[in-house]
Chain A
Amino acid sequence: MFSARFLRDAALVVVPVVAIMAVLPSFYSNHLLLFNFVVFLTLAQGVNILYGFTGYLPFGYVGFFGAGAYGFSVAVLHLKAPPLAALVAAGAAACALGLVLAPLLRLSGAYFSIANLAASLAVLQIISNPNLEDITRGPYGISLSGVFNPTLAYGMALAVLAATLLFVAYLRSSNFGLALQAIRENLFSASMAGIDVVRARMIAWLACALVAGFTGGVFAWYVSVFFPETVFGAEFSIFAIVFALFGGTSTLLGPIVGVVILYGVYNVIGVSAPQYFQLIYGFLIMALVLFLPNGLTSLLQRRGIDVP
Chain B
Amino acid sequence: MSPDKEPLLSIRNLVKRFGGFRALDGLTLSIAPGEVLGLVGPNGSGKTTCINVISGLYAADGGEVLFEGKSISGTKSHQLVHLGINRTFQVPKPFLALTVRENIEVAIAYGNHPEGLSEAGPLLDSLDLAKIAERRAAELNSAQQKMLDLARALATGPRLLLVDELAAGLNPRELEWVGGKLKELARTNMAIIVVEHLMGFIEQVTDRVIVLNAGKEIFEGRLAEAVRVPQVIEVFLGGAHAA
Residues of A within 8 A of B (CB): 175, 178-179, 181-182, 184-186, 188-197, 250
Tell me which of B1-9, B107-115, B187-195, B196-204 binds A.
Answer: B107-115
**Is A181 touching B98 in the complex (CB atoms < 8 A)?**
yes
In the complex, A195→B98 CA distance in Å?
Answer: 16
> Does B70 make an interface contact (CB < 8 A)?
no
Identify the 9 closest CB pairs spanning chains A and B, nearest first: A191-B77, A194-B110, A194-B111, A185-B95, A175-B109, A193-B107, A194-B81, A189-B93, A186-B93
> What number of B residues sit within 8 Å (CB to CB) of A?
31
- With a cutoff of 8 Å between Cβ atoms, the chain B residues found around residue A194 in the complex are 78, 81-82, 107, 110-112, 156
B176 at the interface (CB under 8 A from A): no
Contact with A along B91-106 (1 / 0, CB 8 A): 0011111100011011
Q: Give the docked Cα–Cα distance between A188 and B87 (Å).
A: 11
Q: Which residues of A contact B86 (CB under 8 A)?
A: 192
In the complex, how many angstroms separate the beta carbon of B195 from the nearest chain A beta carbon?
15
* Contact between chains at A191 and B106 (CB < 8 Å): no
A-B contact count (CB 8 A): 78
Q: Using CB atoms and an 8 Å cutoff, list the residues of chain B in contact with chain A.
A: 55-57, 76-78, 81-82, 86-87, 89, 93-98, 102-103, 105-107, 109-112, 149, 152-153, 155-156
Residues of chain B lying within 8 A (CB to CB) of residue A190: 95
27 A-B contact pairs sorted by A residue (CB < 8 Å): A175-B110, A178-B109, A179-B110, A181-B95, A182-B103, A182-B106, A184-B97, A185-B94, A185-B97, A186-B95, A188-B77, A188-B89, A188-B93, A189-B93, A189-B149, A190-B95, A191-B77, A192-B78, A192-B81, A192-B152, A192-B153, A193-B107, A194-B107, A194-B156, A195-B78, A196-B78, A197-B78
Which single member of B82, B87, B93, B109 contacts A179 (CB below 8 Å)? B109
* CB-contact partner of A178 in B56, B94, B106, under 8 A: B106
Give A77 to B222 CA distance when docked, in angstroms: 78
Tell me the minimal C-beta distance from A39 to chain B in angstroms: 29
CA of A194 to CA of B77 in the docked complex: distance in angstroms? 8
Chain B residue contacts of A181, Cβ below 8 A: 95, 97-98, 106
Chain B CB within 10 A, most for which of A175, A184, A191: A191
A181 to B106, CA, bound (A): 10
How far does the alpha carbon of A116 sit from the alpha carbon of B241 in the complex, in Å? 58
